[in-house]
Amino acid sequence: MPQYREKLWASAWSFIVTALVMPASILVLAPISMFAGFVTAAVLYGGCVTLLIIASPVVKVENGLITAGPATISVDLVGDVIPFSGTEASQERGPRLDVRAWMLIRGWVDPIVKIPIVDKTDPAPYWLVSTRHPQKLAAAINESRRPAAGS
């Protein structure tokens, strides 16, 4: 059975941009104490990095389940998964978006997959999930949905 696992880490630019809290806090606290400015800078940047790491969800397909961050669904309850990237991904996240859709979107990850939900009791018509490897994730889910040979 196909397996897939991906952690949606923040981009390198996110870590670089958050480093701007360091000179800002040093500048604010320099008139009081340079030592306090440097300590505060280190603590604030450490906090920002920690939050970026904690906010990085895992997307995985294993044992007949799709997990995207806090949500899990059986592969038996989804239709054919469609990968999108570039302008098509932007259209899916924007003008073509159904407001009932469940989304796990990260701004630092452009490609997405659209996972249709075939369970009539589920209020969400589909999931939109960010992924850096839309073709691989779609293939893993679609292959998991097919019965094994000889079953």
pLDDT in tens, 104-142: 999 889 999 999 999 999 999 999 999 999 999 999 999
Average pLDDT over residues 34-63: 95
Buried b (16+ CB within 10 A) or exposed e, 42-54: eebbeebeeebee
Q: What percent of the chain has pLDDT over 90?
A: 91
Provide the CB-side half-sphere exposure for 101 (13 A, CA): 19
| Statement: residue 149 has pLDDT above 70 | no
Q: What is the pTM of this model?
A: 0.82
Report pLDDT for 88: 96
Report pLDDT for 146: 73
As a whole-number percent, the residues of the chain with pLDDT over 70 amount to 95
